[in-house]
Amino acid sequence: MPQPVPTFGTSVATIIGVLLTLTPARAAAPTPEDLEFFEKEVRPLMVAHCLECHSGDEPEGKLSMESLAGLLTGGLRGPALVPGKPDQSLLVTAIRHNEELKMPPKRKLPTAERAILTSWVKRGAPWTNAKAAPKPATRPKTSSGPLFSEDQKSFWAFRPLAATPPPPVKAKNWANSPIDRFILARLEAAGLPPAPPASPLAWLRRITFDVTGLPPTSGEIESFLADETAEASSRVVDRLLASPAYGERWGRHWLDVARYADSNGLDENLCYGNAFRYRDYVVGAFNTDLPYDQFVREQLAGDLMKDDGDTEARLRRIIATGFLVLGPKMLAEDDPRKMQMDIIDEQIDTIGKTFLGLTLGCARCHDHKFDPIPTADYYALAGILKSTKTMENFRVVAKWNETELADRDVIANQNRHKKKIAESKQKIEDDIRHAKQILLKASRRRAGDYLLVATGTWLKSRLLVGQKPLGGTPQAAKQPGVILREAESYDRGNAARLTTGYGKGIGVIASGSGLSTAEYDVTIKDAGNFRLEFRLAAVESRPCRILVNGGVVEPSALGRTTGSWYPDTQKWSVEVLAELTTGKNTIRIDRQGPFPHIDKFLIVPMTGDASGHLATLTALASKMANPDGLHAAVLQQWVAHLKATQANKTSALSLWHHAVSDATSVPPTTGPRLAKYAKQPLPQLAAGYASLFTAVDDLWLKQTADGKDKPLADPEHEALREVLYSTSGPYKPSKELESAFSKATKEQLAAQRKAVKSLEAAKPKLPLAMAVADGSIEDLKIHIRGSYLTLGDPAPRGFPKILAGEKQAPLSKKTSGRLQLARWMTRPENPLAPRVMANRIWRWHFGHGLVRSTDNFGAIGERPTHSGLLDWLATELIRRGWSMKSLHREILLSSTFAMSTRFHQRAAAADPENLLQWRMDRRRLSAEEVRDALLFVGGMMDRRIGGTLMTVNNRAYVTGTGHNMKTDVYENTRRSIYQPVVRSALFDVFQAFDFANPSLPNGDRVTTTIAPQALFLMNSVLVDTQSATIADRVLALGDNEASRLTTLYQSLLGRSPDTDETAQATSFLSEYRRAAVEDDKTNNDAKDEAKKVSPEIRAWRALCRVLLSSTEFVYAE
């Protein structure tokens, strides 16, 4: 049964009681009041809300709340309680419900109950009959046995590479490479024959797409079919591997794994404007056959690799580390530590899957459920990445790191230049500070004058408070002393007078051009204070300046909005107080830009200054020497200070406030010096303040000249000094003071700023790469359940223990350890790096891996179908100096690769998934190949290599509610690998044809067969354009239909049509022509472009589209 909940009233009283009797934390022994509080208030709460779960033999989260010791010892998340420290107590964190840990889970305790528990902790957590000392920590002990079981250690993927000789086979003539013997042996064992070799044309088309992503040209087909030498195939392989298109095709495979994209995508979709350099790096690495181990090391730690003086290599390696930066990130995350740990998590997940085929990311919150990856290993890697600078900052929106790419000399120059700019800026700052000091020093000497003038200004502004406009009342203008002016009746100015459309006789002023102005001459009978009321309409705020007799009385008036520009929303408002002299005065309104629609204004004499203080102050001020020497900026600060201190009884100005407020109360007590003036009239008080300010300033200057900056000994002096020297008072060195600088100083500053600007402009803009660098080096602790708020044991930086061993030398405190990680990863003793890559290469040649789960070699992943072959390939990769081209060559020239896709009834029944590789799998071209092939056969492909096609700036938004890039950004003829990859708005052609999700590492794209692919082929602009181009080309050949058809088939499919096909196409063309003529008769759509093209041409285009959509074109055999 829940205990009765204390009412809010009693609990507040209790809390106040607690606060009053608050004893120091961890008081030696709880007082009887403490214990009564615990028993009456705290324990019932715990019983009602906590003990159901947190008690008994197996309390939730291993936290028992039955005893103080239980709370002090804590559970899985550590101690629940730090007596006296609510902010450090998990118990309090949990009941606040502001963090991830929320208790009770479903219902937040009422405010009063939370307050009770919080104050109980603050009070030192008194507990009846508590045993003072907590039990020693009973953290679940790490098991004393070995970290990993024998089963785990002997899991196939972690075993060293086995030296596996190719097995013997019966069919002696079939094998062309050791690879073939591995394949054939299994087939023979299963009693299945390998498929017969593919036809030369099918083989050439297959291998050309496979290596370059493009179809063979007619010339290439012709010369290969004519080459009857034994080296024909190997010549093709060499030619293809030497083509730059190889890097474009195979680099793209790698980009799938590296989750490459040109934008962030996750939340704030900013442009990764420099990502393309990483893409170009990858293409280059494949084309130059960069050894794979080096390729890995460069991507993980290129910035830390030894500089051998080769600038180009050094920069290339910096670019390579873009791999670590390219991931999708939550750039708008209010919790910067969470943001950082999430980014690290994404890096670990990608590194694990990409290079090791391990799902390391699973060990963030708990030990990996299936693989031998303890959480400690995760945080050992996380420490390496925490010590790495991936981000420039973790603000909202955060910035990823970019590194300038240039020769060291250029960078040194650049840095000198930057330093110079920084120094110049510093000099400007110093000069400004100095000028302000001079200005303030002089202004302090006139504190009395400022007090007078500022008080006058302030009183004037107060006159308007609560004043209702008179304008709305009838006959307002008839009242004594009131003057009405129609706005459009101005005497000088340029404002447009609008007199139509507003109703009869109504006119307003609106825009002028540039600086809008309107000036009015008014004649005043008796000088005094007047308020100006305006009637206006405005949809948007258009604040104006109001000047009287040349002086600004209000820099920002008339700025309100009324709802529309029309007469029905014309409203009156009191805008400014102006002091007008007897006789002629000039009132001016001006604004840079258009005015609000002003109809008229009233000048109303003010009667509010009953006390006459304002008059007195004005009279006093008029007698001061050099009134023009007061600075408006300082004056404004004085007014602000008066406003801020008016209710402050302890301010040095309290007596002054009392005097000008007409209060009848007893004057506030001040020091003896000011007290002398307490009952004297205002002028004497003003003079008193003035002389005291000067005296105090003298005192202070003298004291500081002696090097002492302690407060003045006398409190009254000190209070007055505060007014003169406080950084929040009237003499604060604000930015606005610059307006009071002398003309010479202003000119000098302007010149300095101009110089800095040109220095900045002269700074050469260096290219940037998304890249990492080492940051501040630190080891992490285990984050219990993945949260940085609950830390566990330290996890020193290191490598996964199942592979690297349990005893690892600690990593240096001087470096993140990335380079060591990269070196460890590519040691020949690490079996995973070569196995995973050899398997990827196989996957990209055959459409499936020997381990089909290419990115997961763990327990949940698939087992190798040919483990001997996999280890042979991995060993060969290392033995051949990690040359991928060499491995390609071996595979491409094998009989296995040369098999046809021929269907075999018995094999298909026995092994429907082709696990034994009894034939080559038929392959639908990838998204990029489909688009590239279309452009290629249309003869329109732009073969330039590298660079970026992004049309938005680096770090700018690529998508908002819609797409910020030009809609025609993809309408180019560059190869598909160069098309922008926008993470949250993928190119629709890519999306339709199974492009890999660019946010997740993926070495095994799926292939689907869906309607959007058909719609693309039927309706898209690209297919349309290519069909038109090809049709035109064929029609230009002359009018022999048979030879036209031969050319068409040759250029699209690489072969001639047979007689049936020729007949079929011929009859299609004639039927289509006839139908088109018929259709035109009923087609009344004048805008239909089809009608502008002859039925003959349309028929040929239709035939082209059909062939481009055909299975033969879209698949490789």
Partner 1 sequence: MSNTSHCCNQFTPVTNRRDMLTSSATGFGMLALADLMSRQATAETSARQDNPLAPRQSHFTPKAKRVIFLFMHGGPSHIDTFDHKPQLDRDHGKPLPFPKPRIVSGATGNLLKSPWAFKQHGESGAWVSSVFPKIAEITDDLCFIKSMYGSNSRHGGALLELHTGSDTFIRPSMGSWINYGLGTENQNLPGYITICPSLTHGGVNNWSSAFLPAVYQGTPMGDAATPAERARFPFIGGKSKVRRRSLQRMELDLLNRINRQRFKETGPDSDLESRIASFELAFRMQSEAPQLQDISDEPKNIHKLYGLDNDATKDFGRQCLMARRFSERGVRFVQVSHSYKWDQHGGLKKSLPQNALEVDQPIHGLISDLKQRGLLEDTLVLWGGEFGRTPVAQGNDGRDHNPHALTMFLAGGGIKPGISHGATDEYGYYSVENKVHFHDLHATMLHLLGLDHTKLTYRYSGRDFRLTDIYGEIVHDIIA
**Three-state SS sequence of 913-941:** CCCCCCCCCCEECCHHHHHHHHHHHCCCC
Site string for partner 1, 370-399 (x = CB under 8 A): xx------------------------x---
Q: Tokens 């507003």, residue?
A: 502
- 959 touches partner 1 by CB under 8 A: yes
One residue of 4, 24, 58, 106 binding partner 1 per CB under 8 A = 106
What the block records as the tokens of 385 is 């990445």
Q: Which stretch binds partner 1 (CB under 8 A): 95-103, 650-658, 662-670, 834-842?
A: 95-103
Within residues 429-458, the interface with partner 1 by CB under 8 A covers none
What the block records as the tokens of 734 is 């604000």
- 732 touches partner 1 by CB under 8 A: no
- 97 touches partner 1 by CB under 8 A: yes
What is the Cα–Cα distance from 1057 to 1039, expressed in whole angstroms?
A: 17
Q: What are phi and psi of 195, to 5 degrees?
A: -65, 150
Within residues 883-912, the interface with partner 1 by CB under 8 A covers 901-903, 912
Closer CB to partner 1, 738 or 1079, in the complex: 1079
Closer CB to partner 1, 104 or 946, in the complex: 104
Q: Which stretch binds partner 1 (CB under 8 A): 42-50, 630-638, 715-723, 1103-1111?
A: 1103-1111
- 1072 touches partner 1 by CB under 8 A: yes
The SS3 call for residue 148 is coil
Q: Are 38 and 142 in contact (CB under 8 A)?
A: no
The upper half-sphere exposure of residue 163, i.e. CA atoms within 13 Å in the direction of its Cβ, equals 1
Q: Which stretch binds partner 1 (CB under 8 A): 91-99, 415-423, 658-666, 871-879?
A: 91-99
Closer CB to partner 1, 722 or 1117, in the complex: 1117
One residue of 189, 619, 1015, 1042 binding partner 1 per CB under 8 A = 1015
Contacts with partner 1 by CB under 8 A: the residue count is: 111
Q: Which stretch binds partner 1 (CB under 8 A): 106-114, 572-580, 589-597, 636-644?
A: 106-114
Q: How far is the CB of 255 from partner 1 (least distance, A)?
A: 17
Closer CB to partner 1, 554 or 855, in the complex: 855
Q: How far is the CB of 1006 from partner 1 (least distance, A)?
A: 4
Within residues 134-173, the interface with partner 1 by CB under 8 A covers none
Q: Are 104 and 96 in contact (CB under 8 A)?
A: no
Within residues 854-873, the interface with partner 1 by CB under 8 A covers 855-856, 858-862
Tell me whether residue 718 is exposed, middle or buried, using C-beta atoms within 10 angstroms of its C-beta: 0 to 12, 13 to 18, 19 or more.
middle
The upper half-sphere exposure of residue 1022, i.e. CA atoms within 13 Å in the direction of its Cβ, equals 26
Q: How far is the CB of 1043 from partner 1 (least distance, A)?
A: 20
Q: How far is the CB of 346 from partner 1 (least distance, A)?
A: 8
Q: Tokens 């997940």, residue?
A: 349
Start-to-end C-alpha separation, the chain: 74
Q: Which stretch binds partner 1 (CB under 8 A): 104-112, 539-547, 626-634, 869-877?
A: 104-112
**Three-state SS sequence of 626-681:** CHHHCCHHHHHHHHHHHHHHCCCCCCCCHHHHHHHCCCCCCCCCCCHHHHCCCCCC
Closer CB to partner 1, 499 or 1019, in the complex: 1019
Kindly give the interhelix angle for 832-846 and 292-301, rounded to the nearest 10 degrees. Answer: 110
One residue of 546, 986, 1034, 1045 binding partner 1 per CB under 8 A = 986
Q: What DSSP assignment string belongs to 401-441? A: -EEE-S-HHHHHHHHHHHHHHHHHHHHHHHHHHHHHHHHHH
Q: Are 639 and 459 in contact (CB under 8 A)?
A: no
> Long-range contacts for 342-345 (Cβ within 8 Å, ≥24 apart)?
343/390, 343/391, 344/382, 344/385, 344/386, 344/390, 345/382
- 116 touches partner 1 by CB under 8 A: no
Closer CB to partner 1, 421 or 859, in the complex: 859
Closer CB to partner 1, 365 or 695, in the complex: 365
399-400/923-924 β-pairing: unpaired
Q: Which stretch binds partner 1 (CB under 8 A): 313-321, 864-872, 1031-1039, 1071-1079?
A: 1071-1079
What is the Cα–Cα distance from 849 to 861, expressed in whole angstroms?
A: 12
Q: Are 161 and 874 in contact (CB under 8 A)?
A: yes
Q: How far is the CB of 826 from partner 1 (least distance, A)?
A: 24
CA 959 from chain centre, in angstroms, equals 13
Within residues 1049-1068, the interface with partner 1 by CB under 8 A covers 1064, 1068
One residue of 29, 552, 663, 1010 binding partner 1 per CB under 8 A = 1010
One residue of 662, 962, 1059, 1084 binding partner 1 per CB under 8 A = 962
Closer CB to partner 1, 661 or 853, in the complex: 853
Q: How far is the CB of 893 from partner 1 (least distance, A)?
A: 24
Q: How far is the CB of 705 from partner 1 (least distance, A)?
A: 42
One residue of 55, 269, 340, 820 binding partner 1 per CB under 8 A = 269
- 1083 touches partner 1 by CB under 8 A: yes
Contacts of 446 (CB under 8 A, 6+ apart): 629, 630
Q: Tokens 């209060």, residue?
A: 663
Q: Whose CA is closest to 241, among 826, 833, 841?
A: 841
Q: Tokens 């004497």, residue?
A: 684
What is the Cα–Cα distance from 46 to 114, expressed in whole angstroms?
A: 11
Within residues 987-1006, the interface with partner 1 by CB under 8 A covers 988, 991-992, 994, 997, 999-1000, 1006
The SS3 call for residue 988 is helix
The SS3 call for residue 172 is coil
Closer CB to partner 1, 362 or 934, in the complex: 362
Q: How far is the CB of 350 from partner 1 (least distance, A)?
A: 12
b or e along 533-561 (b: 16 or more beta carbons within 10 Å of the residue's beta carbon)? bbbbbbeeebebbbbbeeeebbeebbeee
- 110 touches partner 1 by CB under 8 A: yes
Contacts of 612 (CB under 8 A, 6+ apart): none
Q: Which stretch binds partner 1 (CB under 8 A): 30-38, 102-110, 696-704, 973-981?
A: 102-110
- 562 touches partner 1 by CB under 8 A: no
Q: How far is the CB of 1096 from partner 1 (least distance, A)?
A: 14
The upper half-sphere exposure of residue 326, i.e. CA atoms within 13 Å in the direction of its Cβ, equals 31
- 368 touches partner 1 by CB under 8 A: yes
Q: How far is the CB of 369 from partner 1 (least distance, A)?
A: 7
Within residues 834-853, the interface with partner 1 by CB under 8 A covers 847-848, 852-853
One residue of 236, 362, 435, 874 binding partner 1 per CB under 8 A = 362
Within residues 326-355, the interface with partner 1 by CB under 8 A covers 328, 330-335, 342, 345-346, 353
Amino acid code (one letter) for 79: P
Cα dihedral value 830, 834, 835, 840, nearest 10: 150
- 985 touches partner 1 by CB under 8 A: yes
Q: How far is the CB of 334 from partner 1 (least distance, A)?
A: 5
Q: What DSSP assignment string belongs to 561-620? A: --S-SSGGG-EEEEEEEEEE-SEEEEEEEEEESPPPEEEEEEEEE----TT-HHHHHHHH
- 107 touches partner 1 by CB under 8 A: yes
Q: How far is the CB of 1015 from partner 1 (least distance, A)?
A: 4
Site string for partner 1, 1021-1040 (x = CB under 8 A): x--x----------------
Within residues 964-983, the interface with partner 1 by CB under 8 A covers 983
Q: How far is the CB of 96 from partner 1 (least distance, A)?
A: 7
